[in-house]
């Protein structure tokens, strides 16, 4: 673990100031337990606790997942530590009117990437310096040029395979699913109070962890995130069965990119592909 | 075991595919109606579900149809520009094409999922379309990818 | 922790290559052999093996808990089919096959968890499927050699060399030999089947000392606090970070909540029993819409209370074996151990301790 001490110090003082001036009721950031392998989400409500915040290269979690929660909202205005990638999720929450911009104080953190080796999302990240935050702690970092061909590499590695090979791969992967719903609960954009898999009249998705139910669940999950997913990769990280969910999301993001030139979460004002249309949209394969 | 309907037998020469079609109320359903009134014959393998608009069709309809034993699913709506609700078919177009790509990515045969535009005046198009897709699905045979997972006996 | 002084009469030594012989002998006897297999890079699960070549001995623990062999993630309970005249034909799914199963290489913690599960599944109702699966299965545990920082079996009365519910505990040795400790009649039968490669241990043989697993908390002290704190802000604090996913419960070797669902089309269907978990809001939601555990705080409380208060009160043991899966699986770093240590420190310092500053 490498603690970024400059950012950590500025972060602590910014959080303490926001809390002591009453500008926010809570600051959501990262903390670190001794001996822990990752930094974890932390809720700070008193200025004197701000010194427990930390920013290092293991701040994997996407804190935006907490924003739609009633318990968190009831604490008042929310200060939230955001990396560029987290900001994309918040932009989607804003464009979907799940949270109001006025209820948030965005504490941007320039980030050169998380994990060692770097997470995939970090190696293709073009948001090292979050834009549109209320404040930025730490100095801007250099934004390296990214290799856009790598953006969808996990999906691309499967695109080359035949239909039968893909089914063999995915039926094997999806058979592992135990339906714990960690992928859903960790996703900042899966904020439905009652998920489609929990609906019983009709029962769209079999809740049993057999392949039939697992395929239906994973198709539904992927499709509900199409044009919305910002590629934070939390679902794949959370999956206790190591199912490569990121590849599915990449595939759908790639389609949105190729068909509509759309990248989700770059601005709170964007229109999601499935909420709009063009008369001359691609129409291949319609009879 | 969830069972297949009685009219399906395992003998390939007798095998009849099952096609589930979601037709928009205003164009394609009327088109199918016209085909009937015009006495245009088409295969009876197709089971029609009327929906208000092709934009109403959720991908879960398609998955559910496969789960219940469909060998092919068709969604048909008004031609672009003709939607009774102005833009439902434009939305359907974006969603359903993306869904077909998702199916393909998972290795679920995209030939099992068809999208078409059939207007209220196109009784003949409807009749020919049903003949074509019935022939195609007969050539493909039973949808084994799905029938294999119907029993639900896999899992960790 | 159990004493390391073991009755010499129960100890046997197995010669190098015993594993191959064991698989072959059991296969020959028509037994299903399950053993640790590397199913994907870095992941080891118990799977049916046909030969010892597929078996890996290089593993810390298997990913899915052992409970799935007795209480499967999803199982058919009965099948139904519509009949003419509106009748319904209901067929109870036949009980599990009677083919004998030998698990070679379960970990002691996973096996010990069966003690808790046995009590639940034989409690007010004898669960025939569970019992039938238990009865046909012989559990050959491999002593744990490399507990990691997340392991805490010693805090909940276990040990890397725990013999609870094991039929045989095997201490693997570097040279391919092994020391075997027989713990039950089933275990004795297993040793008898392996008589060509196993012989009684020489006088004075004792198993090696278990590797050290740090004791992290005392469940008895935690229980004393839990007894008094059904209502506490502590639960709100714990729940704040919890995302309410089921990874911890699904991977827990002692969690045993299930859901019953009917899956059917217009002609026929199945009733299934599936794993479920108390972290999910739907688990307790009534048909009326009322939910007696309406928020994550009450659900988190239930998980801790069930393991460390209700279960001990009813069955005289905690429903936790310290395998550490929940700690490893949690994607927000929520941690059963840290929750229990916090509770223990509260128990020591009265309830004056500042909740917010002890958590996160």
- Provide the residue ranges of all domains of chain B, joining segments of one domain with +: 19-150
Burial of B15 (0-12, 13-18, 19+ CB in 10 A): middle
Burial of C332 (0-12, 13-18, 19+ CB in 10 A): buried
Task: Please provide the DSSP assignment of chain A as one string.
Answer: --B-HHHHHHHHHHHHHHHHTTS-SEEEEEE--TT-SS-EEEEE-SGGGGGG---BTT--S-GGGGTT-HHHHTTSSEEEEE-HHHHHHHHHHHHTTSS-GGGEEEEE---S--TTTTPHHHHT-S-SS--S-SEE-S---------GGGTTHHHHHHHTS-HHHHHHHHHHHHHT-----HHHHT-TT---SS-GGG--TT--S--SSSHHHHHHHHHHHHHHTTTT-----HHHHH-TT---HHHHHHHHHHHHHHHH---TTS-TT---GGG---TT---TTB-
Residues of B in contact with C40 (CB under 8 A): none
Confidence tier at B153 by pLDDT (50, 70, 90): low
pLDDT by residue (tens digit) across C289-346?
Answer: 899 999 999 999 999 999 999 999 999 999 999 999 999 999 998 888 889 988 988 8
Q: Encoding tokens for residue A31? A: 């903390």
pLDDT by residue (tens digit) across B83-112?
Answer: 999 999 999 999 999 999 999 999 999 999
Whether B150 has a pLDDT exceeding 70, the answer reads no
Please give the backbone phi and psi of residue C232, each rounded to the nearest 5 degrees, phi first: -160, 145
Q: Does residue C24 have a cis bond before it (omega within 30 degrees)?
A: no
Q: What pLDDT does B5 receive?
A: 46
Whether B6 has a pLDDT exceeding 60, the answer reads no
Is C64 at the interface with chain B, CB within 8 A? Answer: yes
Dihedral angle, C-alpha C247, C248, C249, C253, nearest 10 °: 120
Residue whose C-alpha is closest to residue C133's, from C35, C67, C44: C67
What CATH number was assigned to the domain covering residues B19-150?
3.40.50
∠ Cα B57 B59 B64 (to 5°): 100
Q: What pLDDT does B156 receive?
A: 40
Residues of B in contact with A273 (CB under 8 A): 94
Element (DSSP H or E) covering residue C140: strand C137-142
**Contact between residue C256 and residue C335 where contact means Cβ atoms under 8 Å apart:** no
Q: How far is C268 from chain B (nearest CA, A)?
A: 6
**Contact between residue C197 and residue C18 where contact means Cβ atoms under 8 Å apart:** yes
Residues of B in contact with C263 (CB under 8 A): 2, 152
pLDDT by residue (tens digit) across A152-177?
Answer: 999 989 988 999 999 999 999 999 99
Beta strands in C16-136 (DSSP E): 32-40, 43-48, 74-82, 88-92, 101-106
Whether C173 has a pLDDT exceeding 60, the answer reads yes
Whether C187 has a pLDDT exceeding 50, the answer reads yes
Confidence tier at C2 by pLDDT (50, 70, 90): very low
**Contact between residue C207 and residue C197 where contact means Cβ atoms under 8 Å apart:** no
Q: What pLDDT does A138 receive?
A: 87
Whether residue A196 and residue B153 make contact (CB cut-off 8 A), yes or no, is: no
Whether residue A277 and residue B87 make contact (CB cut-off 8 A), yes or no, is: yes
Q: How far is A41 from chain C (nearest CA, A)?
A: 6
Dihedral angle, C-alpha A178, A180, A182, A188, nearest 10 °: 120
Q: What pLDDT does A1 receive?
A: 64
Confidence tier at A285 by pLDDT (50, 70, 90): confident
Across-strand partners of C181?
Answer: C11, C169
Residues of B in contact with C72 (CB under 8 A): 155
Q: What pLDDT does A38 receive?
A: 85
Q: What pLDDT does A271 receive?
A: 92
Mean of the per-residue pLDDT values of chain C: 90
Task: Compare all CA atoms of chain C with the CA of A236 and give the residue at the minimum distance.
Answer: C331
> Which of the residue ranges A52-56, A220-224, B4-8 would you say has the lowest mean pLDDT?
B4-8
DSSP state of B5: P
Q: What pLDDT does B1 receive?
A: 41
Q: Which of C68, C79, C265 sits opposite B68 (nearest CB)?
A: C265
Whether residue B2 and residue C263 make contact (CB cut-off 8 A), yes or no, is: yes
Whether B145 has a pLDDT exceeding 90, the answer reads no
How many Cβ contacts (< 8 angstroms) between chains B and C?
Answer: 27
Is B87 at the interface with chain A, CB within 8 A? Answer: yes
Mean of the per-residue pLDDT values of chain A: 92
CA-CA distance, A110 to A201, in Å (whole number)?
A: 46
Q: State how far the alpha carbon of A227 is from the alpha carbons of A186, A203, B92, in Å.
A: 18, 25, 14
Q: Encoding tokens for residue B70? A: 């469909």
Q: State how far the alpha carbon of C159 is from the alpha carbons of C45, C61, C213, C321, C329, in Å.
A: 21, 14, 8, 9, 21
Residue C227 has a CB neighbour count (10 Å cut-off) of 12
pLDDT by residue (tens digit) across A225-241?
Answer: 999 999 999 999 999 99
∠ Cα A165 A229 A285 (to 5°): 50
3-state secondary structure of B72: strand
Q: What pLDDT does C86 receive?
A: 85
Q: Decide which of A146 and B152 is more confident.
A: A146
∠ Cα A229 A233 A237 (to 5°): 140
Whether residue B149 and residue A204 make contact (CB cut-off 8 A), yes or no, is: no
Q: Encoding tokens for residue A129? A: 């310096």
DSSP state of C201: P
Confidence tier at C203 by pLDDT (50, 70, 90): confident
Alpha helix (H) residue ranges in chain B: 28-37, 59-67, 88-106, 123-140, 144-150
∠ Cα B20 B155 C263 (to 5°): 45
What is the arithmetic mean of pLDDT over C155-171?
A: 94
CA-CA distance, A23 to A15, in Å (whole number)?
A: 10
**Contact between residue C144 and residue C161 where contact means Cβ atoms under 8 Å apart:** yes
CA-CA distance, B7 to C269, in Å (whole number)?
A: 18
Dihedral angle, C-alpha A144, A148, A151, A153, nearest 10 °: -120
Q: What pLDDT does C97 receive?
A: 82
- Going by C-beta distance under 8 Å and a sequence separation of 6 or more, which residues neighbour residue A139? A6, A110
Confidence tier at C358 by pLDDT (50, 70, 90): very low
Location of structure tokens 């309907």: B5
What is the arithmetic mean of pLDDT over C131-157?
A: 93
Q: State how far the alpha carbon of C137 is from the alpha carbons of C18, C94, C128, C140, C165, in Å.
A: 20, 18, 14, 10, 11
Q: Encoding tokens for residue B106? A: 């998972």
Q: What is the CA radius of gyration of chain C?
A: 22
Task: Compare all CA atoms of chain B with the CA of A247 and give the residue at the minimum distance.
Answer: B105
Residues of B in contact with A212 (CB under 8 A): 67, 149-150, 152
Whether B2 has a pLDDT exceeding 80, the answer reads no
CA-CA distance, C253 to C109, in Å (whole number)?
A: 8
pLDDT by residue (tens digit) across A57-112?
Answer: 889 999 999 999 999 999 999 999 999 999 999 999 999 999 999 999 999 999 99
What is the arithmetic mean of pLDDT over C68-76?
A: 93
Q: Which of B5, B68, B156 sits opposite C68 (nearest CB)?
A: B156
Q: State how far the alpha carbon of C64 is from the alpha carbons of A266, C45, C303, in Å.
A: 39, 7, 19
Q: Decide which of C5 and A195 is more confident.
A: A195
Task: Please provide the DSSP assignment of B25-58 as one string.
Answer: TTTHHHHHHHHHHTT----TTEEEEEES-GGG--
ipTM above 0.95, yes or no: no
Q: Encoding tokens for residue C130? A: 């569970």
Task: Please provide the DSSP assignment of C43-75 as one string.
Answer: EEEEEE-SSGGGB----S--SS-GGGGTS-SEE
Residues of B in contact with A282 (CB under 8 A): 97
Whether C355 has a pLDDT exceeding 50, the answer reads no
Whether C139 has a pLDDT exceeding 90, the answer reads yes
Whether A113 has a pLDDT exceeding 60, the answer reads yes
Q: Which of C243, C338, C356 sits opposite A65 (nearest CB)?
A: C243
Confidence tier at C354 by pLDDT (50, 70, 90): very low
Residues of B in contact with A218 (CB under 8 A): 106
Classify each residue of A164-198 as buried b or exposed e, where b means 16 or more C-beta atoms within 10 Å of its C-beta: eebbebbbebbbbbbbbbbbbbbbbbbbeeebbbb
pLDDT by residue (tens digit) across C238-295?
Answer: 999 999 999 999 999 999 999 999 998 888 889 999 999 999 999 999 989 899 999 9
Is A155 at the interface with chain B, CB within 8 A? Answer: yes
What is the arithmetic mean of pLDDT over C179-187?
A: 93
Residue whose C-alpha is closest to residue C243's, from A279, A190, B80, A212: A190
CA-CA distance, A43 to A73, in Å (whole number)?
A: 12
Q: What pLDDT does B154 receive?
A: 44
């Amino acid at each position: 673990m490498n603690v970024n001490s400059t950012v950590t110090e500025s972060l602590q003082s910014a959080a303490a100031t926001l809390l002591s001036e009453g500008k926010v009721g809570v600051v959501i950031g990262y903390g670190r337990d001794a001996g822990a392998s990752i930094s974890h989400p932390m809720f700070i409500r008193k200025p004197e606790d701000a010194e427990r915040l930390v920013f290092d290269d293991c701040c994997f979690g996407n804190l935006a997942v907490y924003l739609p929660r009633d318990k968190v909202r009831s604490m008042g205005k929310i200060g939230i530590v955001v990396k560029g990638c987290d900001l994309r999720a918040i932009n989607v929450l804003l464009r979907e009117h799940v949270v109001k911009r006025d209820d948030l104080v965005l504490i941007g953190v320039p980030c050169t990437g998380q994990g060692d080796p770097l997470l995939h999302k970090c190696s293709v990240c073009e948001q090292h310096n979050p834009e549109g935050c209320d404040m930025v702690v730490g100095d801007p970092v250099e934004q390296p040029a990214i290799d856009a061909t790598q953006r969808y590499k996990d999906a691309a590695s499967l695109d080359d395979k035949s239909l039968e090979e893909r089914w063999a791969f995915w039926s094997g992967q999806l058979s592992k699913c135990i339906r714990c719903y960690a992928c859903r609960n960790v996703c900042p954009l899966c904020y439905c109070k009652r998920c489609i898999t929990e609906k019983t009249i009709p029962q769209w998705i079999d809740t049993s962890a057999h392949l039939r139910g697992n395929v239906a669940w994973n198709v539904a999950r992927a499709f509900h995130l199409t044009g919305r997913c910002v590629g934070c990769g939390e679902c794949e990280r959370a999956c206790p069965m190591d199912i490569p969910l990121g590849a599915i999301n990449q595939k759908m993001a790639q389609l949105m990119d190729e068909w509509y030139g759309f990248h989700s979460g770059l601005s709170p004002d964007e229109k999601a592909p499935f909420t709009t249309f063009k008369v001359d949209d691609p129409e291949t394969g319609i009879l | 075991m969830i069972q297949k309907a009685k009219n399906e037998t395992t003998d390939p020469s007798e095998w009849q595919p099952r096609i589930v079609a979601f037709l928009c109320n205003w164009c394609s359903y009327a088109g199918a109606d016209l085909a009937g009134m015009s006495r245009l014959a088409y295969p009876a393998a197709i089971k029609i579900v009327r929906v208000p608009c092709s934009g109403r069709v959720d991908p879960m309809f398609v998955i559910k149809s496969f789960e219940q034993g469909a060998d092919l699913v068709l969604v048909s709506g008004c031609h672009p520009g003709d939607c009774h609700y102005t833009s439902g078919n434009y939305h359907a177009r974006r969603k359903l094409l993306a869904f077909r790509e998702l199916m393909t990515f998972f290795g679920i045969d995209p030939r099992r999922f068809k999208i078409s535009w059939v207007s209220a005046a196109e009784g003949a198009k409807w009749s020919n379309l049903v003949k074509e897709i019935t022939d195609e699905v007969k050539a493909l045979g039973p949808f084994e990818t799905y029938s294999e997972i119907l029993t639900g006996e896999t899992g960790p | 922790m159990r004493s390391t002084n073991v009755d010499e009469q129960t100890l046997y030594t197995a010669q190098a290559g015993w594993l191959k012989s064991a698989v072959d002998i059991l296969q020959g006897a028509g037994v299903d052999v399950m053993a640790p297999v590397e199913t994907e890079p870095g992941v080891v699960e118990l799977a049916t093996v046909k030969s010892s070549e597929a078996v890996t001995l290089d593993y810390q623990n298997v990913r899915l808990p052992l409970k799935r062999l007795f209480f499967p993630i999803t199982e058919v309970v009965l099948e139904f089919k519509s009949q003419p005249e509106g009748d319904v034909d209901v067929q109870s799914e036949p009980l599990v096959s009677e083919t004998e199963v030998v698990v070679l290489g379960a970990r002691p913690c996973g096996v010990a968890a069966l003690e808790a599960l046995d009590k639940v599944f034989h409690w007010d109702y004898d669960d025939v499927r569970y019992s039938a699966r238990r009865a046909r299965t012989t559990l050959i545990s491999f002593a744990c050699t490399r507990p990691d920082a997340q392991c805490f079996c010693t805090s909940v009365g276990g040990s890397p060399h725990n013999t609870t519910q094991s039929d045989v505990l095997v201490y693997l040795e570097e040279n391919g030999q092994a020391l075997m400790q027989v713990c039950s009649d089933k275990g004795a039968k297993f040793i008898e089947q392996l008589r060509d490669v196993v012989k009684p241990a020489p006088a004075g043989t004792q198993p090696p000392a278990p590797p050290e697993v740090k004791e992290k908390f005392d469940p008895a002290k935690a229980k004393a606090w839990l007894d008094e704190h059904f209502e506490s802000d502590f639960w709100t604090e714990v729940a704040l970070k919890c995302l309410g996913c089921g990874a911890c419960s699904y991977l827990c070797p002692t969690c045993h909540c299930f859901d019953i669902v009917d899956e059917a089309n217009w002609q026929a269907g199945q009733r299934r029993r599936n794993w479920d978990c108390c972290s999910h809001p739907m688990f307790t939601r009534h048909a009326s819409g009322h939910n007696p555990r309406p928020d994550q705080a009450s659900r988190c409380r239930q998980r801790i209370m069930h393991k460390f208060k209700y279960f001990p009160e009813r069955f005289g043991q905690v429903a936790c074996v310290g395998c550490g899966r929940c700690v490893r699986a949690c994607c927000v770093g929520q941690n059963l151990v840290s929750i229990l240590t916090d509770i223990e420190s509260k128990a020591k310092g009265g309830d004056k301790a500042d909740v917010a500053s002890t958590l996160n």
